[in-house]
Amino acid sequence: MDHLEKAHELNLSLEDFVVVGGSVLDIYGIRKSSDFDVVVCGSAFEELKSREGWEVDHDFSKKWRRERIVNGIFEVSNDLIFEWGHGYTFTFEMLKSIAHKVDGVMVQPLVFLLLCKVHIGREKDLNDAQLIEEYFKQHKN
């Protein structure tokens, strides 16, 4: 799957979303991802939520105490949350301010993704963190 092409299937302005998570790893050729993770601005979230085929992921909401909507491979939130201490919410606007553009699509910076993966700390996330570190060693320039 080409995640940069999939980004256009959201039919949103490229300024209204940031690609995050495993999708970023796929874009940089670090590892394949079978889903498409994205954080969108509030108005885009509500727009997608009202479109046919989109539904609230209730299991995600119960586990993480926040809303996510899904449609096939697309998994869409309007923020990222770190759960350490009292928790910290990274809003869409914050992510947008640090995002890198790849072929016009805003993506979560690899350094920030590395921090997220280490923080989450699940085995699969720590494996991803190791892959990101290896990518940095190979792409020092």
Helices in the chain by DSSP H: which ranges?
3-9, 22-27, 42-50, 58-64, 92-98, 110-120, 123-138
123 CB-contact burial (10 Å; exposed 0-12 / middle 13-18 / buried 19+): exposed
pTM metric for this prediction: 0.90
The predicted pLDDT at position 88 comes to: 74
Domain count, the chain: 1
**Percent of the chain residues topping a pLDDT of 70:** 95
The predicted pLDDT at position 10 comes to: 95
101-137 pLDDT tens trace? 999 999 999 999 998 888 888 899 999 999 999 999 9
| Per-residue pLDDT at 39 exceeds 60 | yes
With respect to residue 45, please indicate whether it lies within any of the assigned structural domains. yes
Write the CATH number for 51: 3.30.460.40
The predicted pLDDT at position 84 comes to: 53
**What is the average per-residue pLDDT within 40-64?**
93
One-letter amino acid identity for 30? Answer: I
Domain extent at residue 17: 3-133
With respect to residue 110, please indicate whether it lies within any of the assigned structural domains. yes
With respect to residue 139, please indicate whether it lies within any of the assigned structural domains. no
